[in-house]
Each structure stands twice: as C-alpha cells, then as structure tokens.
Structure 1
Amino acid sequence: MALKTIPIWVCFNHSFSHLGNSDFVQNKKKIPAFRVNFNNLAKLSKWECLGLKLADPERAQTHVEDDKPLTPSDLGSSSTDGRIDENQITESKRFHKDLNSLPKPLSATDLVSSSNDGSKVRVAYQGLPGAYSEAAALKAYPKCETVPCDQFESVFKAVELWLVDKAVLPIENSVGGSIHRNYDLLLRHRLHIVGEVQMIVNHCLLGVPGVRKEELKRVLSHPQALDQCEIALNKLGVVRVSAEDTALAAQIVASEGIRETGAVASSRAAEIYGLDILAQNVQDDLDNVTRFLILAREPIIPGTDKPHKTSIVFTLEEGPGVLFKALAVFALREINLSKIESRPQRKRPLRIVDDSNKGSAKYFDYLFYIDFEASMAEPRAQYALGHLQEFTRFIRVLGCYPMDTTL
C-alpha cells in the first residue's frame, strides 16, 4: 500500500524582490527524503515556507549530495595507491592539538541573547531625546546608542541603509488604538520584527522653572497625548496645541521659555530639557500602555524556550465565509490570536464582486494583520500557515519573536 504524503511546513529565510506574490511558495518537486541542506540556509534572507513531503520508504534510501562517501581526493593530496599521505595527517594533528582553543558553535539561545544589554547596538526611533520611543529602545537594550529620526519612514530607511542596527516604533496604544501608518510601512519595507516592548505611559505636565500649572494658557504635545489628557487639560482651561511628538513639545517650551506655555511629555523629557514637572499622571486612564515593535534587517531564530508571538499579513480569496475559514486554521490547532487588524489595500482598494445589468458591485479589498501566540519552531504554527495558504492570495510572515510579558 502506498504511503500517503503528508505536507510538512518548514520556515526558512528568503527575500522577495517585489510585493504581490505569496511569501509562502510550495515546492512542487518531490524530494526523495526529508532532508534539508542547512549549508544553504545562509543564502536566505526572509521568511519562506517550503512544502516538503515525506517520500516513499524505498526512495528514502536515495543518497543526496551530503551523503556521498569521502574519497582520497576529497581529503586532499594522497599517494598513488589511494592511501592518504601520513605527513598530511601529522600536519593536521599539529594544527588542532589544542581543541579547547577552538571557538564553540553558537546555539539559538546565544544568537538571541548575545547583546541583550545593547552595549554595541545602535537603535533608531522617531522623535527627539526624551520621546517614549527612546524609552522603549532603552528598555529593550539598556546600554544601546539611540538615534533619533524625524519621521517613521526615516526609521525604516536608517535600518535598511545600515546606519543603525535596529529600530523601535510604536504600533498600538491601549487608549488611542493602532498606529495605522506603521502598519502600512511594515508592508512597504522588508524589515523583520525581532521583538516587542510594552510600556506604561506616564504623561507629565511640564513648564519652565518656577511656573505654576494655574499660570498656563496653552499646552503643546502630540495630538494623541493631548487626547489622552483631555480631562486634566479641560480643568486647567488651556488651549491645546499639536506638536509632532511629545519630546519636541518639551524642547519648544524650553527653548522659548514662555511661562504661559506648557507641554505634556515624559519625566525624562523634563530632565533632558530642564523643565519642571507641574503634575504627574495627567492622563485620563492610568492603565495607558503602548506596544512597540523592534525591527531588524534579518529575522531571529525562533525558539520554544519562552513564549513567542508571530506576526503575519495576508489577503484573502473571494468567497463566502472565507475569513471565518482563515481564522479557523488557528482555532483548530488551539493557537490564540492576540491581534487582528484590517487595512484597505492602497494600490488596489476596490474589489469587483459580480456583474449585473445595474453594473459591477465593488467594496474595499483588505489586508489582514494577525498576531498569534505560537513560535514558528512549533509544528502547529507551521501546519496552520500551510492550511491558511489555501484561502489566501498573498501571505507574508513579518516576524517571529519573544513576547514581552513585563511592564
């Protein structure tokens, strides 16, 4: 009786030159045995899932290139009768006489935790020194060198151009919701999510030294920060003025030195720009948490030693209940979904549904961003993505990374 083939999804790195095709490409060629040449993995650079199939037991005995027996020619020069030159063996023993001095191979844990303190890491963030994004970078890499950027787009480009090693950018806030601009940039650029940082946001009311908060007539800050402090600012009766970010608002107040102008920013911004903290925790909701993503040029090796999260983006085929079917692939394998975000496609925002005498019906064509709590090193995650591909027109893994469980 023939052995039924079982698809096994293995995640590798691979880069794609353009967007629009699926980042998961199923290998249609039958492979004689379930073997992977790991010497070639260094050539890959972004996530790809290759569909490997278990072959028949009889064909599984076929040798692959790595299984070829060594010959004298493979070992170097040899005598004419096929024996290896004894002088060569002597030289080899002399070269490797102290085996303890040889470098030990790195494990997956070493690769993830080798620079946890960030002592040699340059991290880009949007804003000025004292911004919450900088604080998130320092939480992830306490001894890193932070590099401020004027725009989110500049943060991505700084990593792509090798000006910095990593980037930190906010992706969602428990009060303000998702930052859609950064979702769009994640798809436009080819960086990988390698971590996340969750931080409690403590908004402070800042002013020039010696001023009282009752003297303030206007307050500067980022629009989202102003909205999060609406009750406190309404009590003061001040005019709210928008700024590009909280740290810039603090810098403006410090540079102008006007007593009637204050800022909503972090306590660190007050320290950097020499301002007084007139009030702390001025946000309406004390449980105000912002989630940040850490981006890098290359993905990290996923593990199973700690809780992991995987972020993906995909578009769906046309059909009734297709979104339900797509989400069911995770429920069937008991994988928890921690985030679902939909965004209209920018280049193809409308999809034609049908043709009728009254014209073609159209509606938005969406991209779906999902975070699920499983590592790509787990078979259940690999099978879930393999199953999901049946319902998608495009799918891409944005990153697999350890979850941040601390605040």
Structure 2
Amino acid sequence: MASKAVAVWGSYVSQLGREDSGSRRSGFALNWNRDIERSCKFGRIGVSGDLAALLATKPVEDENPASPTVELQRLVEQYGNNESKRLHKDVNSLPRPLSVTDLSPSAKNGLNVRVAYQGVPGAYSEAAALKAYPQCEAVPCDQFEAAFKAVELWLVDKAVLPIENSLGGSIHRNYDLLLRHRLHIVGEVQLAVNHCLLGLPGVRKEELKRILSHPQALAQCENTLSKLGVVRESVDDTAGAAQFVAASGLRDTGAVASARAAEIYGLNILEEKIQDDSVNITRFLILAREPIIPRTDRPFKTSIVFTLEEGPGVIFKALAVFALRDINLTKIESRPQRKQPLRVVDDSNTGRARYFDYLFYIDFEASMAEPRAQNALGNLQEFATFLRVLGSYPMDTVL
C-alpha cells in the first residue's frame, strides 16, 4: 500500500510506526520531538580576565616590603578573588534556564504577554484571556481572523478565541480558521458566562423595544427576550452592543452583555443571569506560533483534524483506534471541505453518486507524550487521507 503524506505540526511524515510496543519509537514520535527541539535555542558565554594588567600593578611601598615571591602570591590570590567575583556576577546576570513548568500556557501569570481576542473591552473573550494570563496585555481585534493574523505577524504572543458553548454549540468559523492558519493550540479556558440585560441609566426593562448582542448571546437568552417581546438585532460582539447603546443614547434600546461591559460603558444592569440555562460555559482555545512540550504529569488534551476515504465502516475504524487504546474522545466535529466540498463516487449502474467530503475534528484526553496517543495516530494514518495535529495542551479543569 502506498505511503501517504501527513501534515503534523508544520512538518510532513511519510510513514508512521504501526507497532503498539512501547520500546519502539515511531516516526510520528521522532518527528514530534524534532518539531519541539526546533523551538529551543542555545547560546554560549565566555568569561575572561587580564592577569598581566593585574600583575603590572605597582604595590604600595611600606617600611617592610614583601619579597617578590610573596608579592606575586598576593597578586595571584587577588586576581583569583576578583575573577571569582566577576564570574559570580556574570553568571547571576544570565537568564535562568527554562524548565518544563515554565513552558506551560500560564507561565508567570502572563506577565508581559500580549494576548489577542475578538471584540472590544468588556467582551467575554477578554475575560477568558485574563483568566488564562491574569497580568497580560489584552489586545482587542475586530474579527476572529484578525486575531489569528496578529499572532502570525508577531504583533501579539497569543490569541484566545471561543470554540464552543454549552448552549449554543460550536463556533464553526474558528474551526475553519484553525485549518487555514498554521497556529498551534497550547491551552484551553473554560469560562462561566452570565448574560446581563443592560440599558441606559434611568431606563426600565419594560421600556426596551430593541435588544442588541452577538447572535450566540441572543440565542442563549431566547426565553427572557421572548417574554419581553423585543426586536433582536445581531452585532459582532456583546461588549460592542453595550458600547453602541451607551454611545447612541437611545433609551428604547438595550444590550445583552457582561457586568464588566456595563461598568466600562456606564450602563445599568436591568437584570442578571438572563440565559435560558444557568449552566452556561464557553470553551476558548489559546493559540500560539509554536507548540508546547507535552507532558504526562497532569491531564492533557490533544486536538486533531483528518479526512477519510469514502466507504462503509471508515468512520467506525477511525474511532476504533482510540477505543482500542482506552482513549476517551471529548469532541467530534465535522465540517465540509471548503475547496472540495463534494466527492463524486461511481458506485451504481445508473449514475454517479455525490457525497459531501468532510473534515473531522476530534479532541481526545491523552498527551502526545504518551505512546498510546502516538500509536493511535499511527494507526489512524493507515487509512486517513490527511491528518494534522492541531495541539496537545493542558486541560482546564477550573471554572
């Protein structure tokens, strides 16, 4: 059977190992380690002294000058002490070598890290960025794609973007952008979302005729908004809706946004927690230019995308590679291929059948540092026409 090329973390693997033996390292694992090593850079330092200049120093004359031998010994000891102090100073001025724990997404609480998010200040994405990196500089972007490009162009260090919500489902736009851009998932953030109904000071909610917000937020507050009998209008983000209401001064217009947005733009909170379900969680992905080193000392999640040949049982076989190795799947998402959405199959005597050609996105609970994860993907590559690892990263278990 001909070997198929697989795009993995920016490199191509021609053939993966097919053995489940822990003593053998597959091509997948070797390629993984090579990609990680490329992101590490090492330098050398040197410490020098000038003994000749020190020995040329003229000693202070006294009544009992020391012998030349004693004086030379004194000068050598003085040089040694000075050189030792200089070496100690130089070593202390060097950057501390990074440890594995420094490479986690929340290193130094995000100090001096610039993090892009979609929206304006007060957006839930900004709150997610600050949860991931409490001391970061949050950089607003007008669209999701702008946040991706900001990372690629080195304008920011990371991007935090929503990928799914417990009520509204997946954000398909960001699934498409994950494949289009060569960024890596280095972490996730789960954020509890509490929608508030906002209005201008002095306005009662019964006076509102129109409500602005992001389409997902409007959908998550369907019951409350239906009872109010208001007209719903979609905007790019929740905080942007609050900003518009404050700037326009329209007393019959409200917004669905966060309590922080109300504080920033000077609006009143007319009602809190108006979402249909009290448990409303949005999951965000943290994206970076380089992957992080996967570990096994804490729960990890790995995200992949792949395509399959058309045929009976191929999806079953794809999922079986994880079940056989006791790997739990947490997310399965399918998206039609944008450049080649249809596949024509000549499987009948009367005509040619047309099928959608899908990309399959899967999240599973295992680190790429584990042999079982490497072997599962090696097995999947045997019948996948395309396979790419989007990231292997720590799970967020704290709300």
TM-score range (shorter-chain normalised) is 0.7 to 0.9
C-alpha displacement of 1:24? 3.7
Name the CA shift for 1:321/1:356 in 2 (closer, same or farther; >3 Å). closer
Looking at structure 2, the residues matched to 34 and 259 of structure 1 have their Cα atoms a distance apart, in angstroms, of 66
C-alpha displacement of 1:356? 4.2
Is 1:279 the counterpart of 2:271? The answer is yes
1:350 aligned partner, one-letter code: L
C-alpha displacement of 1:222? 1.1
Deviations 1:94-137 (A, max 9, x none): 79975975766432122226734111110111111111111100
Q: Is the CA contact (8 Å cut-off) linking 1:136 and 1:199 kept in structure 2?
A: yes
Q: Is the CA contact (8 Å cut-off) linking 2:213 and 2:236 kept in structure 1?
A: yes
Q: Which residue of 2 aligns with 1:398?
A: 390
SS at match of 2:302: strand
Q: Which residue of 1 aligns with 2:10?
A: 15
Q: Which residue of 2 aligns with 1:305?
A: 297
C-alpha displacement of 1:318? 3.1
TM-score by length of structure 1 reads 0.78
Which residue, out of 170, 182, 189, partners 1:190?
Answer: 182
Which residue, out of 202, 205, 216, partners 1:213?
Answer: 205
Give unmatched runs, 5+ long, in structure 2: 1-6, 18-23, 40-79
SS at match of 2:109: coil
Kindly report the root-mean-square deviation, in angstroms, between the aligned alpha carbons of the 2 structures: 2.8
Is 1:25 the counterpart of 2:14? The answer is yes
Looking at structure 2, the residues matched to 233 and 39 of structure 1 have their Cα atoms a distance apart, in angstroms, of 52
Looking at structure 1, the residues matched to 10 and 31 of structure 2 have their Cα atoms a distance apart, in angstroms, of 18
Looking at structure 1, the residues matched to 237 and 172 of structure 2 have their Cα atoms a distance apart, in angstroms, of 16
Looking at structure 1, the residues matched to 204 and 284 of structure 2 have their Cα atoms a distance apart, in angstroms, of 34
* Paired residues for 1:2-401 under 5 Å: 15-16=10-11, 23-26=12-15, 44=38, 101=92, 105-112=97-104, 115-401=107-393
TM-score by length of structure 2 reads 0.79
Query: Alignment length, in residue pairs?
Result: 340
Q: Which has the larger radius of gyration?
A: 2
Q: Which residue of 2 aligns with 1:52?
A: none
Q: Is the CA contact (8 Å cut-off) linking 1:13 and 1:44 kept in structure 2?
A: no
C-alpha displacement of 1:228? 1.2
SS at match of 1:167: strand
2:308 aligned partner, one-letter code: L
Looking at structure 2, the residues matched to 163 and 238 of structure 1 have their Cα atoms a distance apart, in angstroms, of 41
Give unmatched runs, 5+ long, in structure 1: 1-11, 17-22, 46-90
Looking at structure 2, the residues matched to 330 and 37 of structure 1 have their Cα atoms a distance apart, in angstroms, of 21
Structure of higher RCO (CA pairs closer than 8 Å, 6+ residues apart): 2
Deviations 1:201-225 (A, max 9, x none): 1000001111111111111111221
SS at match of 1:390: coil
2:169 aligned partner, one-letter code: G
Looking at structure 2, the residues matched to 334 and 240 of structure 1 have their Cα atoms a distance apart, in angstroms, of 46
Looking at structure 2, the residues matched to 364 and 13 of structure 1 have their Cα atoms a distance apart, in angstroms, of 24
Looking at structure 2, the residues matched to 107 and 147 of structure 1 have their Cα atoms a distance apart, in angstroms, of 28
- Which 4+ residue blocks in structure 1 deviate beyond 6 angstroms? 33-40, 94-97
Q: Which residue of 1 aligns with 2:61?
A: none
Name the CA shift for 1:214/1:43 in 2 (closer, same or farther; >3 Å). same
Deviations 1:273-302 (A, max 9, x none): 010001000111111111000000000001
Q: Is the CA contact (8 Å cut-off) linking 2:9 and 2:389 kept in structure 1?
A: no
C-alpha displacement of 1:402? 0.2
Name the CA shift for 1:104/1:363 in 2 (closer, same or farther; >3 Å). same
Looking at structure 1, the residues matched to 32 and 373 of structure 2 have their Cα atoms a distance apart, in angstroms, of 21
Identity of aligned residues (%): 74
